[in-house]
């Protein structure tokens, strides 16, 4: 046989690739560096770079170069396909298994990387090193809705998850909270009940990501400890404007322990720098259709534009007494919060989100939070909800991430040295050395050693009262209404109207009359006016309830979202133009808005570039795509009337947004709207932009 018989005409030689391979993987973005632990301490025994795609040539999973991935291997050009086609089978098999089970709750989420910088204020109450002054700790934060599936809309009415992973030098600390400080249930054993009630009905699997249906309202009206949480859900908190504008709460009471073993009880709070703001219900509904990814996009866009979201972490501190109660509030009852008037939130550090994930699946989907990821200086309490969560979060990852080694996934890897004795199992990627993963041992020199006294995690030796085993709860958990009443009484009038409208909508979507009647009985125990409003909407009589309280409690100011002013950085403002708009006016508007860190979005009749006299401007949004939901305010500099602009302005007006216009642009507003609060018309465009910025500080113009 001559060597020529092996030549394949026209094919490049496998030994002389056309392009030389780069010797390193892609250069990581600076902000991503912290994601991977240093090699020497990595439990997986390799740098993240090893796992990145390398080279420029397409290969099999085993690294063999491929010349064709578009055609399967066939017996002749017209088939059949041969079983021998290893590339086809590898490609399709991998594809067939691309999906993992979505989270049973909080399936829909968005996440970002950032950094937490402590101010040192907590140094005297905890030994946690990441809370020492000026210590910076990388974080990964995932926000989520609770009920919907992975592909559901962002803006549905729901509680939002706010889970933070602190990659501290002493191990990973997860603060797995919500944007609502109270929970539906007091005991973890009820979690499957509330979730089964909230998820779509098992027969038709509808509705998706909604609480407006019979089973949800059936449960929360029978199980009245859910009343306070349901009130928060039906309030504007249930439809946040942005993840950047949500508070976060640890919900449970935690125990901090200092170097001397002294303890305090705390509740964690995240306070957003931009303030707490919400959508209005119509916006939430429009967004669910027009832009189901509204919150996900908002978070990513803000970070990309440099408007880094920021929160202050604060704690309410309570003495660790045997009763574990404060001012009559049982600190172990997760359906209760402590009003800030009684215990101020003391800032202990600031978190800034600075970069978006590189790969959604690898990071946002595979991140595994767990309230049991604790570091020395932070311990749990006996809150029965928290106790149950300490079991659930590890357990769920076994089916979601396929085994016990999910901690080795890059996003879950601690940034502290890991030296455990956990071995083998599905998806083990570490190459452990040594022969003695047991203690005591002599073969590995006794290694790993236990931490010196006081240097490791402290399980606070809390005394346990002499008692009997029982399936029960303390009588201090019996009050189901006082905090719902406090919450309602603390809302401004417009927020109370929104809440009544939400109850009316949700209960109006229920079919079962007895459920609606029971809901009214619950509301009668919260507030008579609220009950009357909802009853009127449902067309049902107001129930008479013997034990209803008639006095409204004194309001707690921190519970209302309205009445303050906030920074405007990172807010979106549409600057609406057409071919006749003067380039000078547009420049003036862009400059004035941009000077405040606002993101001005030029909105024009068509995409691409728009010629304005001698200059051209790049268009951000077109009349066809622009809806009010996307903008926090609108500035109209148009010269021609257009129905789409009129709709945009009409929506912005209805949604309480600041509107500015020059005289020509104001023609797109209805004459009546022009005279209303929050609408500023002037040919001095700088003045118009300035007024819009001022109005934006209060988020909405509620006086309309």
By annotation, the residues acting in catalysis are: 106, 178
Pull the structure tokens for residue 399: 């089916």
Least Å from the CB of residue 277 to ligand HDE: 20
Q: Least distance in Å: CB of 182 to ligand HDE?
A: 9
- Nearest to ligand HDE of 378, 385 (CB atom): 385
Check residue 16 and report its DSSP letter: S
CB 672 within 8 A of CB 645: no
State CA 700 to chain mean position distance.
Answer: 23
Least separation, in Å, of the C-beta of 35 and ligand HDE?
A: 17
- Cβ closest to ligand HDE, residue 177 vs residue 314: 177
Task: Find the shortest distance in angstroms from Cβ 145 to ligand HDE.
Answer: 10
| Closest approach of ligand HDE to the CB of residue 254, in Å | 11
Give whichever of 85 and 102 is closer to ligand HDE, judged by the CB atom: 102
Dist CA 71 CA 636 (whole Å): 53
Only one residue has tokens 């706010």, namely: 162
Question: Would you say 298 or 651 has its CB closer to ligand HDE?
Answer: 298
Give, in degrees to the nearest 5, the angle at Cα 321 between 320 and 323: 125
Alpha-carbon span 118 to 568, nearest angstrom: 25
CB atoms within 10 A of CB 582: 16
Helix (H, G, I), strand (E, B), or coil: what is residue 326?
strand
Residues 619 and 604 sit within 8 Å (Cβ to Cβ):
yes
In the structure encoding, which two tokens stand for residue 253, read together?
């009471």
Following DSSP, what letter does each residue of 36-100 receive, concatenated? SPPGGG-TTSS-GGGGS--SSS-B-TT--B-S-SSS--BSSTT-PBPTT-HHHHHHHHHHHT---
Rg over alpha carbons for the chain, rounded to the nearest Å, is 29
Instruction: In angstroms, give the least distance from the CB of 232 to ligand HDE.
Output: 12
In the complex, least distance from residue 567 CB atom to ligand HDE, rounded to whole angstroms: 26
Give the nearest distance from C-beta 173 to ligand HDE in angstroms.
14
**113 strand-pairing partners:** 140, 355
- CB proximity list for 79: less than 8 A, separation 6 or greater: none
- Smallest separation, CB 380 to ligand HDE (Å): 12
Instruction: Name, in order, each residue with C-beta under 8 angstroms of 513's C-beta and a sequence gap of 6 or more.
Output: 540
Q: CA geometry: angle at 166 spanning 162 and 170, to 5°?
A: 150
Cα distance between residue 265 and residue 319, in whole Å? 6
- Residues lying near ligand HDE in the complex (CB under 6 A) are found at 103-106, 109, 142, 144, 161, 163, 176-178, 183, 188, 191, 251, 334, 367-369, 385, 388-389, 392-393, 396
* Rounded Cα gap, residues 259 and 596, in angstroms: 45
Is 629 in contact with 570 (CB distance < 8 Å)? no
* Rounded-to-integer distance, Cα 438 and Cα 446, Å: 9
User: Based on CB atoms, which residue is closest to ligand HDE, 109 or 376?
Assistant: 109
Q: Report whether 634 contacts 653 (CB < 8 A).
A: no
142 or 255: CB nearest ligand HDE: 142
Give the whole-angstrom CA distance, residue 142 versus residue 365.
Answer: 9
CA distance 43 to 405: 10
Specify the residue, 47 or 104, whose C-beta has the smaller distance to ligand HDE: 104
- What gap in Å lies between CA 702 and CA 704, rounded to an integer? 5
C-beta of 208 vs 622, nearer to ligand HDE: 208
Place of tokens 């029960």: 472
Select the residue whose beta carbon is closest to ligand HDE and give its number.
161
């Amino acid at each position: 046989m001559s060597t020529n018989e092996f030549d394949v005409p026209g094919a490049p030689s496998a030994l002389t690739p056309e392009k030389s391979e780069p010797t390193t993987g892609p250069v990581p973005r600076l902000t991503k560096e912290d994601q991977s632990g240093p090699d020497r301490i990595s439990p997986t025994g390799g740098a993240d770079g090893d796992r990145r795609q390398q080279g420029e040539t397409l290969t099999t999973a085993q690294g063999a170069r491929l010349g064709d991935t578009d055609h399967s291997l066939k017996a002749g050009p017209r088939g059949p396909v041969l079983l021998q086609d290893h590339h086809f089978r590898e490609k399709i098999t991998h594809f067939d298994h691309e999906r993992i089970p979505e989270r049973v709750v909080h399936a829909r989420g968005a996440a970002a990387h950032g950094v937490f910088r402590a101010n040192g204020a907590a140094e005297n109450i905890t030994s946690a090193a990441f809370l020492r002054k000026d210590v910076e700790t990388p974080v990964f934060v995932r926000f989520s809705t609770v009920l919907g599936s992975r592909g559901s809309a962002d803006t549905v009415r729901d509680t939002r998850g706010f889970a933070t992973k602190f990659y501290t030098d002493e191990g990973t600390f997860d603060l797995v909270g919500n944007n609502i400080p109270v929970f539906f249930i007091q005991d973890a054993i009820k979690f499957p009940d509330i979730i089964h009630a909230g998820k779509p009905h098992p027969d038709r699997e509808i509705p998706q990501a909604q609480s407006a249906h019979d089973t949800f309202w059936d449960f929360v009206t029978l199980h009245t400890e859910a009343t306070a949480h349901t009130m928060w859900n039906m309030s504007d908190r249930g439809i946040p404007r942005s993840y950047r504008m949500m508070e976060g709460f640890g919900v449970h009471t935690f125990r901090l322990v200092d170097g001397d073993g002294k303890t305090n009880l705390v509740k964690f709070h995240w306070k957003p720098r931009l303030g707490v703001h919400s959508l209005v219900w119509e916006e939430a509904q429009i967004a669910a259709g027009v832009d189901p990814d509204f919150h996900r996009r908002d978070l990513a866009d803000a970070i990309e534009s440099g408007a880094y979201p920021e929160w202050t972490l604060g704690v309410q501190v309570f003495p660790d007494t045997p009763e574990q109660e404060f001012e009559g509030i049982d600190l172990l009852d997760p359906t209760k919060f402590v009003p800030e008037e009684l215990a101020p939130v003391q800032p202990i550090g600031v978190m800034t989100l600075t970069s978006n994930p590189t790969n959604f699946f690898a990071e946002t989907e595979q991140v595994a939070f767990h309230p049991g990821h604790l570091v020395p200086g932070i311990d749990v309490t006996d809150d029965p909800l928290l106790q149950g969560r300490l079991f659930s979060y590890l357990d769920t990852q076994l089916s979601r991430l396929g085994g016990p080694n999910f901690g080795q996934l890059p996003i879950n890897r601690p940034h502290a040295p890991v030296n455990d004795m956990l071995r083998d199992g599905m998806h083990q990627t570490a190459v452990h050395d040594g022969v003695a993963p047991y203690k005591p041992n002599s073969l590995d020199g006794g290694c790993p050693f236990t931490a010196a006294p006081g240097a490791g995690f402290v399980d606070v030796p809390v005394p346990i009262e002499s008692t009997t085993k029982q399936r029960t709860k303390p009588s201090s958990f019996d009050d189901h209404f006082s905090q719902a009443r406090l919450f309602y009484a603390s809302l401004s009038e417009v927020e109370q109207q929104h809440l009544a409208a939400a109850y009316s909508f949700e209960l109006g979507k229920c079919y079962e009359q007895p459920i609606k009647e029971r809901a009214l009985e619950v509301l009668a125990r919260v507030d008579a006016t609220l009950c009357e409003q909802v009853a009127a909407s449902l067309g049902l009589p107001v129930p008479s309830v013997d034990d209803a309280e008639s006095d409204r409690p004194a309001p707690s100011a921190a519970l209302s979202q309205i009445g303050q002013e906030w920074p405007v950085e990172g807010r979106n403002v549409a600057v609406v133009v057409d071919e006749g708009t003067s380039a000078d006016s547009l420049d003036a508007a862009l400059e004035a808005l941009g000077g405040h860190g606002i993101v001005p979005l030029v909105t024009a009749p068509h995409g691409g570039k728009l010629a304005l006299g001698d200059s051209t401007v790049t268009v951000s949004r077109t009349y066809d795509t622009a809806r009010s939901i996307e903008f926090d305010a609108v500035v109209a500099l148009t010269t021609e009337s257009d129905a789409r602009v009129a709709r945009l302005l009409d929506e912005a007006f209805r949604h309480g947004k600041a509107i500015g216009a020059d005289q020509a642009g104001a023609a797109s507003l209805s004459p009546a709207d022009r005279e209303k609060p929050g609408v500023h018309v002037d040919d001095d465009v700088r003045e118009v932009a300035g007024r819009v910025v001022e109005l934006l500080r209060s988020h909405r113009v509620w006086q309309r």
